[in-house]
């Protein structure tokens, strides 16, 4: 039996026309799908808002055959267009949307608009003009899907731009700092550095290593001929995540050199002034005692004023010299066994005339002696300064009390008053040299007395502090060991 080839199928013209129509429809669907896919990719990779809006407007033109398409964004100036394609909006084409039509809203005779919403937030609107044919149902309208993707892209790009700007601002702020700043993870990796830190690291000397020099934070570290102060603090986010620690290096070389020069100058001036002042005080004292002959009342008054001011100047010079010696490498003290209560009583007796003149009640220590080992001249200087400070700042009618006690291997003197007190914001610096707070305005002084008191107390192996438990006014407590370790 032979193979017989069947005759070819002959289609009627109507069938061929229908087939061609279906093929064209399939090609159109495929082309639309490819266009939607391409637009989706472009929106996902868009890195600026005009590009994202342009992709959406192009899709509106290509997919819908619109005569014109444009995008407006929330927060943009009135009439500003993020992107426009084809026949632009013309006058009045961005008016408020009107009636909703299947996911779109009618905004004029031939203009429709849909909102661009991402995560429930309105980002803008897509407008189209001159679109032929009816709209699809929202569930099948791939242009609405692209509009949602475009809204997400706009929100993403805006958030990224805001984050970049915030990061740039933060970087600019720390770059403006004169200190070397770095954010370091717990395993030593640097997350953020500022310009000063990068410059210091790039220099031949670099920065001090974490274990170089003293381990105490805030204490100067000598490194390659420079003096650095290193401070550090943990960095924790608002949700409790620990990022590491911020490390700050401050170059204090110039400050230390200036302080050294100042201290040397103070020491020189104080030393040069002390000898002539001693002579001035001695001769004035001799005049007051009548060694050069009797004085009448006016002369006695004038000599008394001169003597008091010379004594005050000598105390200032003494404070300057003591401070300079302390800064130069420690204050020398000559401790011996003594009674701290007696030293306090002597200071009270010495200050009684000044207290009477100011109308202030001055009370000294009572009870048994307080044995301790101390330099009587230096400790007398401390108590004199504390009592003098209390009298200077207390108004008439106030009371200044001086007490002394011992226990647990320590002896202490406490000078308390019921005056105006020291504001909390000034208490940390009250023992710093030249520190004078708001309450000191109008009161004569150099700001040296309490700094000298601190240096003398520390030279004895002790300390000086404000008593935070004082009910009112100010209370200063000086503590020294009852037996000197020197």
The tokens describing 9, both together, are 């199928």
Q: pLDDT digit string (tens) for 330-373?
A: 667 888 999 999 999 998 988 888 889 889 999 998 866 899 99
pLDDT at 132 over 70: no
The DSSP code for 18 is H
Q: pLDDT digit string (tens) for 375-417?
A: 998 899 899 889 988 988 889 999 999 999 998 899 999 999 9
- Look at the block and give the residue holding tokens 């009636």: 99
The DSSP code for 136 is P
**What DSSP letter does each residue of 207-223 carry, written as one string?**
---TTSS--STTS-EEE
pLDDT at 91 over 50: no
The DSSP code for 417 is E
CATH of domain 336-481: 3.30.565.10
**What DSSP letter does each residue of 215-259 carry, written as one string?**
-STTS-EEETTEEEEEEEEEEE-TTS-EEEEEEEEEE-HHHHHHH
Contact 412, 478 (CB under 8 A): yes
Closest among 484, 286, 468 to 378, alpha carbons compared: 484
C-alpha to C-alpha distance for 410 and 371, rounded to whole angstroms: 10
C-alpha to C-alpha distance for 144 and 116, rounded to whole angstroms: 9
Report the relative pairing of strands 371-374 and 100-101 from DSSP bridges. unpaired
Q: pLDDT value at position 216?
A: 46
The predicted model gives 41-61 an average pLDDT of 91
Q: pLDDT value at position 13?
A: 67
C-alpha to C-alpha distance for 88 and 98, rounded to whole angstroms: 20
Q: What is the largest CA-CA distance in the chain?
A: 169
Report the relative pairing of strands 180-184 and 190-193 from DSSP bridges. antiparallel
- Of the two residues 157 and 31, the one the predictor is more confident about is 157
Q: pLDDT value at position 300?
A: 82
C-alpha to C-alpha distance for 262 and 448, rounded to whole angstroms: 14
pLDDT classification of 98: cutoffs 50, 70, 90: very low
Residue 80 Rama label (left phi>0; alpha psi -120 to 50; beta): beta
Q: pLDDT value at position 29?
A: 77
Q: pLDDT value at position 446?
A: 59
pLDDT at 99 over 50: no
Q: pLDDT digit string (tens) for 438-476?
A: 555 445 555 677 888 888 898 899 999 998 776 678 999
155: number of Cβ within 10 Å: 18
Closest among 400, 377, 403, 396 to 388, alpha carbons compared: 400
Angle at 183 between CA 178 and CA 185, to 5 degrees: 160
Q: How far apart, in Å, do the first and last CA atoms of the chain sit?
A: 133
Q: pLDDT value at position 156?
A: 94
Q: pLDDT value at position 4?
A: 67
- Contacts with 28 (C-beta within 8 Å, 6 or more apart), sequence order: none
C-alpha to C-alpha distance for 62 and 34, rounded to whole angstroms: 12
Closest among 455, 386, 376, 379 to 414, alpha carbons compared: 386
**What DSSP letter does each residue of 268-325 carry, written as one string?**
HHHHHHHHHHHHHHHHHHHHHTTTTS---HHHHHHHHHHHHHHHHHHHHHHHHHHHHH
The tokens describing 192, both together, are 């953020």
Threshold 0.85, pTM exceeds = no
Q: Would you state the torsion angle of the CA atoms of residues 7, 8, 12, 14, taken in this order, to the nearest 10 degrees? A: 160
- Contacts with 36 (C-beta within 8 Å, 6 or more apart), sequence order: 59, 63, 142, 145, 146
pLDDT at 190 over 60: yes
Closest among 227, 176, 169 to 197, alpha carbons compared: 176
CATH of domain 13-161: 3.30.450.40
- Cα–Cα separations (whole angstroms), residue 385 to 202, 287, 347, 435: 50, 27, 9, 15
C-alpha to C-alpha distance for 60 and 1, rounded to whole angstroms: 63
pLDDT at 480 over 90: yes
C-alpha to C-alpha distance for 405 and 482, rounded to whole angstroms: 11
Mean pLDDT check: name the lowest of 40-54, 256-270, 409-423. Answer: 256-270
- Look at the block and give the residue holding tokens 């009674």: 339
C-alpha to C-alpha distance for 106 and 415, rounded to whole angstroms: 86
**Domain edges within the chain:** 13-161, 178-251, 259-327, 336-481
pLDDT classification of 167: cutoffs 50, 70, 90: very high
C-alpha to C-alpha distance for 36 and 62, rounded to whole angstroms: 10
Closest among 350, 412, 407 to 379, alpha carbons compared: 412
- Domain 13-161 matches domain 336-481 at the CATH topology level: no
**Average pLDDT value for the chain:** 81
Q: pLDDT value at position 374?
A: 93
Q: pLDDT value at position 214?
A: 45
Closest among 49, 52, 48, 26 to 40, alpha carbons compared: 52
What is the helix (H) or strand (E) element at residue 366, kind and residue range? none
């Amino acid at each position: 039996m032979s193979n017989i080839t069947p005759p070819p199928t002959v289609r009627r013209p109507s069938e061929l026309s229908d087939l061609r129509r279906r093929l064209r429809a399939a090609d159109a669907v495929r082309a639309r799908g490819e266009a939607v896919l391409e637009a989706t990719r472009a929106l996902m990779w868009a890195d600026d808002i005009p590009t994202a809006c342009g992709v959406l407007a192009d899709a509106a033109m290509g997919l819908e055959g619109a005569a014109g398409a444009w995008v407006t964004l929330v927060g943009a100036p009135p009439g500003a267009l993020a992107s426009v394609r084809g026949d632009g909006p013309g006058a009045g084409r961005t008016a408020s949307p009107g009636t909703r039509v299947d996911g779109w809203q009618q905004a004029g005779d031939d203009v429709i608009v849909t909102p661009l919403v991402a995560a429930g937030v309105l980002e803008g609107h897509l407008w189209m003009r001159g679109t032929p044919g009816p709209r699809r149902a929202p569930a099948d309208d791939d242009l609405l899907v692209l509009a949602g993707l475009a809204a997400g892209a706009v929100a993403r790009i805006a958030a990224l731009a805001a984050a970049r700007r915030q990061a740039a601002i933060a970087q600019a702020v720390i770059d403006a700092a004169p200190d070397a700043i770095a954010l370091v993870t717990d395993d030593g990796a640097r997350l953020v550095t500022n310009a000063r830190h990068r410059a210091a690291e790039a220099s031949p000397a670099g920065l001090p290593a974490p274990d170089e020099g003293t381990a105490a934070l805030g204490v100067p570290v000598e490194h390659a001929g420079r003096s650095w102060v290193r401070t550090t603090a943990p960095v924790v986010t608002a949700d409790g995540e620990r990022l590491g620690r911020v490390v700050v290096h401050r170059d204090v070389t110039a400050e230390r050199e200036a302080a050294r020069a100042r201290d040397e100058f103070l020491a020189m001036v104080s030393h040069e002034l002390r000898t002539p002042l001693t002579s001035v005080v001695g001769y004035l004292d001799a005049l007051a005692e009548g060694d050069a002959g009797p004085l009448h009342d006016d002369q006695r008054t004038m000599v008394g004023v001169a003597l008091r001011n010379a004594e005050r100047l000598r105390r200032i010079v003494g404070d300057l010299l003591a401070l300079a010696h302390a800064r130069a490498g420690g204050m020398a003290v000559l401790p011996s066994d003594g009674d701290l209560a007696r030293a306090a009583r002597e200071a009270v007796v010495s200050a009684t005339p000044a207290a009477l003149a100011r109308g202030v009640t001055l009370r000294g220590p009572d009870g048994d002696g307080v044995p301790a080992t101390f330099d009587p001249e230096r400790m007398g200087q401390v108590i004199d300064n504390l009592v003098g400070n209390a009298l200077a700042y207390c108004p008439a009618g106030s009371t200044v009390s001086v007490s002394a006690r011992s226990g647990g291997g320590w002896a202490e003197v406490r000078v308390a008053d019921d005056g105006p007190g020291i504001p909390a914001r000034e208490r940390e610096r009250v023992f710093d040299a030249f520190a004078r707070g708001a309450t000191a305005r109008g009161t004569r002084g150099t700001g040296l007395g309490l700094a000298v008191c601190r240096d003398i107390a520390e030279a004895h192996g002790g300390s000086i502090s404000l008593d935070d438990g004082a009910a009112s006014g100010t209370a200063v407590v000086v503590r020294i060991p009852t037996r000197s370790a020197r």
